[in-house]
Amino acid sequence: MMIKCGSNLWRCFSVIAIVFSSSLMFVLGGDLTELIAKDPRLTEFNTKLQASGIAMSLMRHMSITIFAPTNDAFARYKGAYTMSRDLISYHIVKSSITKDNFPSSLPSELIGGLPIWIQRNYNPFQGEGKQYDFYANNARMISMDITGQSIDGFEQVLHVIDEVLEPTLPNPNDPIYRNPSAQRILTNPSIYGIENDLSNFEKRVQLYNKQIVLQGGEGHTFFIPISSDNEEEWNFVDDKVIDAHIIPNKVLFTKAFPADLQETLALTDMLKTLIVVKNETSHDQQSYELEVQSNTRVGYPDYPRGVVVAKIIKPNIPEIGRAHV
């Protein structure tokens, strides 16, 4: 059954989501400044890197890992930080990490250490010995483990990625607002460049004392619905509905979102709601829309079984977990 509106766990809201393979290449010799400068795919990144004095100092004298977007990635980038030092800092980690040693997240050189989230997805079509796609946030790693050495002898690692990593930065750039939680984004969306009204959902979160879940949700994925004019509709949003918007213990970005349904916090013997993200691409392949589908498979009268579909209007907001609106 397809439910368009009603008292389902997921309403007919547009949704903001906060969330979160490769050919292998090994190159030895020189520091990463030299390797990046010689790579024709990375001329745009190299230009921005050269303009960042801090980044250049790190590269010449320390053990680091760099996630370098290609020229095509920068050509597609429509974010607000095209020449920002913060943007470059968010692509640098102050330790050398190869793919075999990736943790679930890495602290970036951005002030506050906003994490870069790592995801590994099984891909049976990669061929023998290359059975996984690796992602940094929403960017797929297309070349990995390119190694160099600083002038002081420290190991350095370069991973080439197909998308620019955009940090979540506050405006004004006050350190107190750095490294936001989903709760902080929900409370002050405009500070983080989100112009949508999230106040209805925020009020329901406060009413049911769910702030702690959104404040301490490191490693969670959140789907945050925008407000609507139908106040009566929001009366159906209780603690169980809020739980149905949260995938616990996984940071999932849209490009790397698993194809199978993901369990939400609304998971009991009496109630079971799962989520999947779909990419709806146009017939001419020139445009696409992201949708999130919730599937309530086990329910009772107040929470009937069925599917609700919502459009994702602002995906992949990196914080201490992952948020989508």
Ranges 40-44, 110-114, 117-121, 123-127: which has the least confidence = 123-127
pLDDT tens readout for residues 25-37: 444 457 788 889 9
Distances from the Cα of 119 to the Cα of 49, 134, 300, angstroms: 25, 6, 35
Average pLDDT over residues 288-305: 77
| Amino acid residing at 12 | C
Average pLDDT over residues 304-324: 77
Assigned token pair, 130: 């290359």
Q: For all residues of the chain together, what is the average pLDDT?
A: 80
Ranges 25-29, 132-136, 299-303, 307-311: which has the least confidence = 25-29
Ranges 10-14, 192-196, 216-220, 299-303: which has the least confidence = 10-14
Question: Is residue 10 packed enough to be buried (19+ CB in 10 Å), middle (13-18) or exposed (0-12)?
Answer: buried
**How distant is the alpha carbon of residue 17 from its chain centre?**
9
Distances from the Cα of 87 to the Cα of 83, 95, 213, angstroms: 7, 18, 29
CA–CA dist 282, 295 (Å, integer): 24
Q: What is the pLDDT of residue 282?
A: 52
**Of residues 318 and 95, more confidently modeled:** 95
pLDDT tens readout for residues 50-69: 888 777 777 778 899 999 99
Q: What is the pLDDT of residue 137?
A: 92
Distances from the Cα of 198 to the Cα of 8, 16, 194, 232, 321, angstroms: 20, 9, 9, 16, 18
> Does the pLDDT of residue 293 top 70, yes or no?
yes
Q: What is the pLDDT of residue 319?
A: 66
pLDDT tens readout for residues 98-120: 999 999 999 998 877 888 999 98
Ranges 69-83, 115-129, 194-208, 271-285: which has the least confidence = 271-285
Contact 17, 316 (CB under 8 A): yes
